[in-house]
Amino acid sequence: MSQPLPEPSTTEILAGFEVVVGRPGAWDAEAPLYFPDSFAVIPTPREKVTEALLSLAPHLKIVSNCAVGTDNVDLDACRRLGVVVTNTPGVLTEATADLTWLLILAVARRFREGDALIRSGSWDGWKPLELMGLSLEGRTLGVYGLGRIGRAVARRAEAFRMKVISLAGDDPPEAFERLLAESDVLTIHAPLTPETRGRFGADELARMKEGAILVNTARGPIVDEAALAAALASGHLGGAGLDVFEREPAVHQALLTFANVVLLPHLGSSTLQTRLAMARTACEEVVRVLGGEAPRHRVA
């Protein structure tokens, strides 16, 4: 296990196995020591499972990724080596959708600025022109990626009486152009693939609606952070909410300077119930595969 997970997961489900738990941030040093004796590996999104590491693991049967995304795992190498790869879909859908709306509302209603004003001690009472934000009713929510999480986010838009437009993987190019041109709030829920990497660059951001808000709770490299900073600095975009980053855990320094940008440390699935469900799902897949059963959430 690359780092400690919420319990009871390993202590209960993996009882009877020898479980080695790594330290957060120590993967590069520890993984080469663990892989030669490992029959199963449970990484989290921050740890890369590369072909070089896989070549050190003659006994490895499964990489049980404790995440819904698998961009941290070399899937092609796993297929060549006959290593099963699984993920934890479904259990984090609602928590991530909730957090997406936290970001939408925080940016639209200028939460950071309001909180900072109160804490500064300088607020002297209600004013008609103070910190006016964006009303969501009647606005258009654009959803890039209509999987489980994207659909959950879209459902929540009904409560705000927003119009929803979306883009799925097989939609024509003109659907993407409509998403850029019409969305007052554009939220990203696609996996990181060669096609989606850098999908929101300078040209795409320039084609977004003037004053629009961009939210990303999917994978950081889908958005070019330098281009996003430039679009915010020019005033073309009205704000951004990010839970993931292009070079995570590093954040583009310019993004730290904008009052209309809300930044969170990859908290999409971070509720006690959700993270525990993820950990238990990952452990259960290990038990199934090492026991000769078919996994429930195989991706490779």
In this structure, are residues 68 and 174 in contact, taking their beta carbons and an 8 Å threshold? no
The 3-class SS string of the chain reads CCCCCCCCCHHHHCCCCCCCCCCCCCHHHHHHHHHHHCCEECCCCCCCECHHHHCCCCCCCEEECCCCCCCCECHHHHHHHCCEEECCCCCCHHHHHHHHHHHHHHHHCCHHHHHHHHHHCCCCCCCCCCCCCCCCCCCEEEEECCCHHHHHHHHHHHHHCCEEEEECCCCCHHHHHHHHHHCCEEEECCCCCCCCCCCECHHHHHCCCCCCEEEECCCHHHECHHHHHHHHHCCCCCEEEECCCCECCECCHHHHHCCCEEECCCCCCCCHHHHHHHHHHHHHHHHHHHCCCCCCCECC
Active site (catalytic) residues: 219, 248, 266
In this structure, are residues 66 and 278 in contact, taking their beta carbons and an 8 Å threshold? yes
Strand pairing report for 239-242 and 261-263: parallel
- Sign of the C-alpha dihedral computed for residues 12, 13, 17 and 19 taken in this order: negative
In this structure, are residues 34 and 57 in contact, taking their beta carbons and an 8 Å threshold? no
- The pLDDT assigned to 169 comes to 82
Q: Tens of pLDDT along the chain (300 residues)?
A: 999 999 999 999 999 999 999 999 999 999 999 999 999 999 999 999 999 999 999 999 999 999 999 999 999 999 999 999 999 999 999 999 999 999 999 999 999 999 999 999 999 999 999 999 999 999 999 999 999 999 999 999 999 999 999 999 889 999 999 999 999 999 999 999 999 999 999 999 999 999 999 999 999 999 999 999 999 999 999 999 999 999 999 999 999 999 999 999 999 999 999 999 999 999 999 999 999 999 999 999
Instruction: Enter the pTM of the model.
Output: 0.96
In this structure, are residues 286 and 87 in contact, taking their beta carbons and an 8 Å threshold? no
Q: What is the largest distance, in Å, between two alpha-carbon atoms of the chain?
A: 68
- The pLDDT assigned to 249 comes to 95
Compute CA distances 218 → 81, 83, 197, 263, 268, whole Å. 28, 26, 11, 13, 9
Q: In sequence order, which residues have a C-beta less than 8 Å from that of residue 272 and are 6 or more positions away?
A: 6
- The pLDDT assigned to 8 comes to 97
Per the omega criterion (within 30 degrees of 0), is the bond before 128 cis?
no
Beta bridge partners of 240: 214, 261
- The pLDDT assigned to 170 comes to 84
